[in-house]
Amino acid sequence: MKHPWKDRLLRMAPPDKIAAGEENFRIMFDKAADATLVFDGEAFVDCNEAALKILRAPHKDKIIGLRPFDISPEVQPDGRLSSEKAQELINTALKEGFNSFEWVHRTLDGNDFWVEVTLKLIPVKGKDVLYSVLRDISKRKAAEAQLRESEERYRVAIENSNDGVAIVLGDRHAYVNKRFLDIFGYDKPEEVIGKTAALTVHPDDLAMVKDYNRRRQSGGSAPPRYEFKGIRKDGTTVFIETSSASIVYGGSPASIAYMRDITDRKRAERQQELITKTLERLNNPPKITDLTRDILLLIKKYTGIEALGIRIRSGDDFPYVETDGFSPEFVESERVLCVRDQDKGVVHDLLGKPYLQCMCGNVIGGKVDVSLPFFTEGGSFWTNCMSGLSAASPDMINERMKRTCLIEGYESVALIPLRSGEEVVGLLQLNDKLPDRFDPGMIQFLEGIGASIGIALSRKEAAEKLLASERKYRGIFENAVTGIYQMSPNGRLISVNPALARMFGYSSPAEMKQQVTAAQKRVYVNREDKMRYHDLLAGRDVINGFETELYRKDQSTIWVSVDSRQVKDAEGKLLYHEGIVQDISDRKRLERHVQETTEELRQSEARLRIACNAAGLGIWDLDPDTGKVWVSHRHRVIYGPAVPLSEWTYDTFINYIVPEDREEVRRSWREDLEKDACPPIECRIRRDDGQIRWIRIEGKMEHLGGSRRIMGIVKDITEDKQLEEQRRQGQKMQAVGTLAGGIAHDFNNILAIIVGNAELALDDLSDLKGVRRNLERVVTASNRARELIKQILTFSRKTESQRKPVSLSSLLRETYDMLRAYLPTTIHMTLDIKARESGIVADSTQVQQVLVNLATNAAYAMRENGGRLAITLSGITFRPDRPRPDLDMLPGRYAQVKVKDTGTGMAPEVQKRIFEPFFTTKETGQGTGMGLAVAYGIIKSHGGGITVESRPKEGSTFKVYLPLHDSEENTEAARSTGTSGGKERILFVDDEAPLAEMTGMMLERLGYRVTVATDPSEALNMFLEDSSRFDCVITDQTMPDITGVRLAEMMIEARKDIPIIISTGYSDAVSPAAAKSAGIRAFIMKPTTRKELAETIRRVLDRRETPG
């Protein structure tokens, strides 16, 4: 390579200077800190001392003559041969003059090390050589490898953590591990990463979690550990315990959170709380009626069973004392159990016991056979399929059943005896029309609760009877199953009954009185209870439910509940204490048992939750031969939570269907099953919360192992149905609007001829007052007809209004003041402006017309008795995924005006037609039926919607929705123009000859020179022949062969500055905005008065601007 500049410098420099320069360069080269080698394309020809050091060479001769790959391992870390890769990098440097890269060299003693290589092409003595500078980067590479290894260890640890781990950057998930996805029900990290905390945090706790993250990432303080309520992908709630800390992630402050699912623990705590409340109520009972009511509601809340009842012994019978969920007819028919003869006397069996009817009587009387699956060791009866019990039960059971539960449709039935010791004192009854509501664990739990209820009821009953009849019924004292005592104020036992003596292990009451001389000192296990007993008794005359642990005669212990009272003489002097003692050791053991089984219940529920967790659509699997069905968790969302998922059957599906659809669905299923088919079914259901919803059921018949199975899905299609109904209503209103617009077009042309000719006649008949008066009436009537046409076109949304930014709140206040002065004082009006923003783009006159119409209609509905009229302005946002009041409304922010009255209201059939034109409920002569139709058209034309909610005798509520605009009202005064004529030349085009002739005469009387054409093609030819003949063109829009807009476009193409005015009676293909975009200067609606026409022409001619 030639370097002329270097040759010139060498020729110019003296030889001694050149030699000195070369010597200086040699010294700098040899002593340079960086290792440098010179490569001539074939081999190294020189190197400096730093290169000898880094390559561990004793002198240059060991390096000179070698090639780069001679001092390199055979293969580079990327797998390529050092010889091939080195030649490629050298060629690049030779071609481009420079190259830089990382490389692994090998010292002469065999050690590999990383270097950063810089190759630079330099001419030396007429020859190009490569200067190779090496920098040792081994330490940096080792650090990078160590960092990668450390990051990999941490990544593996986090990915396999038993805790869910999330890194939150700002308010969005930047990283989540697999356990996090498991906790919240997601399959892939992509479903979460990039999403905000609102995806996994329940709205109740979202603000708290966001605040903690913000404070932590901004360097503030936030709790390191806290709990929050989360939300899974399927919408279910999950409780989370989290530990959080601040980190730097990707160079930005972030939060890292370690999460644990504590849902099962929370559920167990709730169950324990319910059990505790039940036991607390039993241990501190009020009146028996209040106690049974409280216990009934607690059990219903815990179990979710539809209907419950408690029977308590009363004489020979066991009547209901409390029920919840049963119909009055059922309760009345089943209130008593005793069978009575024709004289209404109680029938007794051979043992002299009262004959009790139905299965309730069997359980109370102990007539159970525990070898049968529906009886328990504890003497209870239960079934999850009452309809199948009759065929499967022994004759003894069938004979003793009244079958009322079966007739009422109850499938799940449980009868739990309420025991006090060995005695049955009552019955707890649980009924549900859904099958599979019970399981053995629940029955066992209810038996335990039943034992406590029985003891509490007996204890309360005994206490009440003791207080009422202690002197009259001494036999009760001697024969009572509970302990009864009387004690002197100094603690000496005056009397005890045999039951109390037996309870404490004494052979007789006498032995007990003799040995227990200082009862309280001898029998209390905990001395604190003794002091507490005295303190309570000192503060009141009666103590109920005092529980303590006492010593028996043999020093074993017994838990008792004591009800005691003070007996005083007439002067108030304390005579003695008396009371009853209940042995509650069994109940205490039950409480311990309940606590021990709580964990087992929690684990059982966890397994059930995991097994039934499914995707968005409800999934079901039905055995058509048995009616048994498996359903997914989604069914709780679609139908409601009343029926446990494990208890669903075919009848569960059927019972949810509204009665009007139920029989048709049954018939369809029967016919389809006979054909081994399962086509889709759409029907209505009533959810547990009372809502009526539409569902679609789809299934497929499968034959598995000789049996039939139907598997399918169920989907809530209520919103689809609502959208379909809105679409049909919109098409109906659109059809009416199109018809109205078509009529308006012809009607306006006729009115234009009438108005125009009448005005011309008025000019000619100025001296004939009578004729002039008649013509003025014609003009007045025509103008009234024109206003009616405007209303029709407003309804059909075929006209454009003058819209500008408007403050809806200001407009509402103005309208409210006007209405307040206009409406009767018997109507109490209120205005509530809740919205902070109320800017809209609208025709304020039209919007005010809607508000006045709604208010006057409301006043009419309250004309007889007065009432309240409330007008409210608020804001509302419709997201894209949510339904909107009108199909044409776009997602976004809206102003909502609610007009609510307390008038007569409307029936559903009236509401369906309320917005139809000419439909009215007013008397003849009091309304045209156009008010609400026009209001509907105005609001639709503004991009909004209007709805009505009403019930007869309950008033009506209209809601108007208008899109919000960022700016408030900003109006400018309209510029007034004169109505005088002129001398200009006008081409007037209209295919209606009478209208064209009349308008031409009108324009000539205004002073204009007019050319009239009834054929648009002829008019175009005249204009194209000499466009300078005309100063302005006025053309009709709707004409044969060619429209006014198209005619205007061709004329403007020929002459861009020609002013053109469009005149039309109606057209859905043109609007003021469309006309302006075509270059048209003005747009007027027929019929047009002479004043309007003159002002429009003058305004257009005086402006004389090029459109655009």
Domain membership flag for residue 729: no
How far, CA to CA in Å, does 992 sit from each of 633, 698, 1016, 1087?
Answer: 71, 61, 11, 13
Q: Closest Cα to residue 883, out of 719, 763, 726?
A: 719
Q: Of 682, 716, 750, at which residue does a domain stop?
A: 716
Same-domain check for residues 84 and 206: no
3-state secondary structure 796-861: HCCCCCCCEEEEHHHHHHHHHHHHHHHCCCCEEEEEEECCCCCEEEECHHHHHHHHHHHHHHHHHH
**Distance (Å, whole) CA 457 – CA 435:** 31
The alpha carbon of residue 59 and the mean position of all alpha carbons in its chain are separated, in whole angstroms, by 81
Query: 120: burial class by Cβ within 10 Å (0-12, 13-18, 19+)?
Result: middle
Tell whether the model's pLDDT for residue 1108 goes beyond 50.
no
Sheet holding 98-106, edge to edge: 44-47, 35-39, 127-136, 112-124, 98-106
- Residue 637: phi and psi, rounded to 5, are -75, -45
Query: 187: burial class by Cβ within 10 Å (0-12, 13-18, 19+)?
Result: exposed
- CB within 8 Å of 488: residues ≥ 6 apart: 494, 576, 577
Across-strand partners of 870? 830, 900
Q: Of 433, 461, 489, at which residue does a domain stop?
A: 461
Torsion of CA 265, 271, 273, 276, to 10 degrees: -130
Per-residue pLDDT at 471: 60
Residue 954 gets the label, from left (phi > 0), alpha (psi -120 to 50) or beta, of alpha
CB 313 within 8 A of CB 426: yes
- Residue 82: phi and psi, rounded to 5, are -60, -35
Q: Closest Cα to residue 66, out of 92, 37, 95?
A: 37
Across-strand partners of 681? 697
**Distance (Å, whole) CA 245 – CA 72:** 48
Same-domain check for residues 807 and 924: yes
CB 379 within 8 A of CB 417: yes
Same-domain check for residues 312 and 407: yes
Which CATH number characterizes residue 1094's domain?
3.40.50.2300
- Residue 897: phi and psi, rounded to 5, are -105, 120
CB 860 within 8 A of CB 814: no
- CB within 8 Å of 735: residues ≥ 6 apart: none
| Residue 47 vs residue 281, higher pLDDT | 47
Same-domain check for residues 388 and 344: yes
Domain membership flag for residue 306: yes
Per-residue pLDDT at 607: 47
**Distance (Å, whole) CA 504 – CA 508:** 10
- Residue 1024: phi and psi, rounded to 5, are -70, -30
Asked if the bond preceding 1072 is cis, omega within 30° of 0, the reply is no
Q: Of 666, 687, 716, at which residue does a domain stop?
A: 716
pLDDT band at 5 (very low <50, low <70, confident <90, very high): very low
**Distance (Å, whole) CA 761 – CA 259:** 91
Domain membership flag for residue 13: no
Burial letters 786-815, b for 16+ CB under 10 A, else e: beebebbbbbbbbbbbeebbbbbbebbeeb
Angle, CA of 953, 955 and 958, to the nearest 5°: 150
Same-domain check for residues 306 and 412: yes
pLDDT digits (tens, 9 = 90+) for 709-743: 888 888 888 887 777 776 666 655 655 555 555 55
Burial letters 869-896, b for 16+ CB under 10 A, else e: bbbbbbeeebeeeeebbbeebeeeebbb
Residue 173 gets the label, from left (phi > 0), alpha (psi -120 to 50) or beta, of beta
- Residue 1026: phi and psi, rounded to 5, are -155, 90
Tell whether the model's pLDDT for residue 1021 goes beyond 70.
yes
3-state secondary structure 580-648: EEEECHHHHHHHHHHHHHHHHHHHHHHHHHHHCCCCCCEEEEECCCCCEEEECCHHHHHCCCCCCHHHC
Which CATH number characterizes residue 842's domain?
3.30.565.10
Question: How much is the mean pLDDT over the chain?
Answer: 81
What single-letter DSSP state applies at residue 326?
Answer: S
- Beta strands 985-989; 1009-1013: pairing state: parallel
CB 998 within 8 A of CB 763: no
- CB within 8 Å of 129: residues ≥ 6 apart: 38, 39, 40, 41, 45, 121, 122, 123
Q: How many domains does the chain have?
A: 7
CB 230 within 8 A of CB 238: yes
Which CATH number characterizes residue 290's domain?
3.30.450.40
| Residue 707 vs residue 268, higher pLDDT | 707
Containing structural domain, residue 416: 286-461
pLDDT digits (tens, 9 = 90+) for 282-335: 776 666 677 788 888 888 887 779 999 999 988 888 999 899 999 999 999 888
**Distance (Å, whole) CA 1099 – CA 1108:** 17
pLDDT band at 2 (very low <50, low <70, confident <90, very high): very low
Same-domain check for residues 1018 and 1083: yes
Same-domain check for residues 644 and 573: no
Q: Closest Cα to residue 63, out of 84, 91, 39?
A: 39
Same-domain check for residues 815 and 956: yes
Per-residue pLDDT at 989: 94
Q: Closest Cα to residue 745, out of 1039, 1011, 529?
A: 1039
Same-domain check for residues 184 and 294: no
What single-letter DSSP state applies at residue 1007?
Answer: T
pLDDT band at 271 (very low <50, low <70, confident <90, very high): low
**Distance (Å, whole) CA 568 – CA 566:** 6
pLDDT band at 10 (very low <50, low <70, confident <90, very high): very low
Domain membership flag for residue 195: yes
pLDDT band at 233 (very low <50, low <70, confident <90, very high): very high
Q: Strand, helix or coil at 928?
A: coil
pLDDT digits (tens, 9 = 90+) for 755-773: 666 677 766 665 565 566 5
Same-domain check for residues 706 and 618: yes
Per-residue pLDDT at 412: 92
Domain membership flag for residue 775: no
Same-domain check for residues 477 and 457: no
By percentage, how much of the chain surpasses pLDDT 90?
Answer: 29
- CB within 8 Å of 383: residues ≥ 6 apart: 374, 389, 412, 413, 414
Per-residue pLDDT at 539: 72
Same-domain check for residues 371 and 414: yes
| Residue 237 vs residue 116, higher pLDDT | 116
What single-letter DSSP state applies at residue 909?
Answer: H
Burial letters 499-526, b for 16+ CB under 10 A, else e: bbbbbbebeebeebbeebeebbeebbee
pLDDT digits (tens, 9 = 90+) for 362-409: 898 888 888 888 899 999 999 998 888 766 665 545 555 667 888 888
Residue 56 gets the label, from left (phi > 0), alpha (psi -120 to 50) or beta, of left
Per-residue pLDDT at 134: 92
pLDDT band at 354 (very low <50, low <70, confident <90, very high): confident
How far, CA to CA in Å, does 457 sit from each of 282, 289, 304?
Answer: 8, 10, 23
Q: Closest Cα to residue 446, out of 416, 423, 424?
A: 416
**Distance (Å, whole) CA 432 – CA 421:** 29
CB 713 within 8 A of CB 692: no
Domain membership flag for residue 169: yes
| Residue 182 vs residue 880, higher pLDDT | 182
- Beta strands 1060-1064; 1082-1085: pairing state: parallel
Domain membership flag for residue 722: no
Residue 454: how many other CB atoms lie within 10 Å: 25
Query: Which range, of 697-701, 944-948, 1046-1050, averages the lowest pLDDT?
Result: 697-701
Which CATH number characterizes residue 181's domain?
3.30.450.20
Residue type, 664: E
Query: 337: burial class by Cβ within 10 Å (0-12, 13-18, 19+)?
Result: buried
- Residue 344: phi and psi, rounded to 5, are 65, 20
Tokens at residue 529, please? Answer: 């209870």
Across-strand partners of 1064? 1085
CB 288 within 8 A of CB 457: yes
Angle, CA of 577, 582 and 585, to the nearest 5°: 135
Sheet holding 164-169, edge to edge: 172-176, 164-169, 252-261, 237-249, 225-231
Q: Strand, helix or coil at 699?
A: strand
Domain membership flag for residue 643: yes
Helix (H) or strand (E) holding 330: helix 328-334
Per-residue pLDDT at 976: 40
